[in-house]
Amino acid sequence: FTAEVLEGGRIRFRDTMYESLSGAAVAAIQSTGFMGGKVTANGWTWWKFVDKETGEEKVVDSFDKIDHS
């Protein structure tokens, strides 16, 4: 799945805006047709990004631990 973090912190997933990473993660899970009851997700650990310097895929929660200088 691909989502975009917009200026101001809102998340766009499939042309719908979400106020949180978790809300967008739940929408992504539900879009698969998951029918296992109430869906919850920690968006900070569910979503990933590719570190441009290393090429590694990392969870968003690790973003603040990267040297951005």
- The tokens for 14 are 């499939």
Say what the pTM is.
0.79
pLDDT band at 65 (very low <50, low <70, confident <90, very high): low
pLDDT value of residue 64: 67
Q: pLDDT tens digit string along 41-51?
A: 999 999 999 98
- Structural contact between residues 43 and 60, judged by C-beta atoms closer than 8 angstroms: yes
Q: Which tens digits make up the pLDDT trace of 3-61? A: 999 999 899 999 999 999 999 999 999 999 887 778 899 999 999 999 889 999 999 88
Q: Tokens 């969870």 correspond to what residue?
A: 59
Q: Give the pLDDT confidence score for residue 20 in this predicted structure.
A: 95
